[in-house]
Homo-oligomer: A and B are copies of this chain.
């Protein structure tokens, strides 16, 4: 997905927010904003928003000298989500349709974003879980998803956020014993998952976890490591979580199921649903059988 003009104010909103997470020094915050503005003025809008955002987050890290300003937030998000895990796992297992229920929960977990207030986040997660209990995903897409999983030789599951990774684990448990690799970002960027989060949540003892070698908050293939690119090529089914992965992979030819909470009007318009929706979407619906 290209960078729309609507993304411009949002990129600067993100730059401001990240600069404040990274440093309390107002002069450095202003320097980050100045350089972010300069960068965006030169950026290629045909590239997806996370490609431009990556450069902004690099500036935040470089200028503030704080390259992982969401480290503590990510840790707390994982702890918080792990607190929900045992009960949710029991509910999934007792459900009449564990795959469908775990899919809804995996999407619900995508609500976790870098908020300041962990109490707010707890309520927010609880609301999202409650929604997952009652929402129904399109049965045709779910049928195609089940079939794709059962036929797949190599599933690549691309994670999005810390905390959310625990909800991914609930779904992955239901997709096993299929061959699944879980991919995380190569470097810290916003609250996106890295290897640290896979370790903290025990996902790495369930499936193989690889990093993509990149600090883009999405998957821009020409920015990823060769090792990741090979795994991506090899995969005959990709599950991609969250907007960043959608924005960067939605024009790919590979069979991908996107799962996300829609958080902005640009993606909502692209997907064709309201902001706030829980979405499972296949990018090759025309070729699906």
Contact = CB atoms under 8 A, between A and B. Distances in A.
Interface of A: 5-6, 8-10, 12-13, 16, 19, 29-30, 33-34, 37-38, 40-41, 45
Given A37-B37, A40-B37, A41-B37, A9 B12 contact: yes
Copies in the complex: 2
A30 to B, nearest CB: 6
A41 B36 CA distance: 9
Nearest to A14: B9
Contacts of A41: 34, 37-38, 41
A15 to B, nearest CB: 8
Contacts of A12: 8-9, 12
Contacts of A29: 5
Contact of A5 (B5, B9, B10, B16): B16
Given A9-B16, A37-B40, 20 more contacts: A5-B16, A5-B19, A5-B29, A5-B30, A5-B33, A6-B16, A8-B12, A8-B16, A8-B33, A8-B37, A9-B9, A9-B10, A9-B12, A9-B13, A30-B45, A34-B41, A37-B37, A37-B41, A38-B41, A41-B41
A45 B37 CA distance: 13
Contacts of A38: 41
Contacts of A16: 5-6, 8-9
Contacts of A19: 5
A74 B29 CA distance: 38
* Most B C-beta atoms less than 10 A away, residue of A29, A34, A37: A37
9 contacts: A5-B16, A6-B16, A8-B37, A9-B9, A9-B16, A12-B12, A30-B45, A37-B37, A37-B41
A34 to B, nearest CB: 6
A13 B12 CA distance: 10
A26 to B, nearest CB: 8
A263 to B, nearest CB: 16
A19 B5 CA distance: 10
A55 to B, nearest CB: 14
A29 B37 CA distance: 18
A135 to B, nearest CB: 30
Contacts of A5: 16, 19, 29-30, 33
A66 to B, nearest CB: 17
A41 to B, nearest CB: 4
A33 B11 CA distance: 13
Counting from the closest, the 8 A-B pairs by CB-CB distance are A37-B41, A9-B12, A9-B13, A9-B9, A38-B41, A8-B12, A5-B33, A5-B16
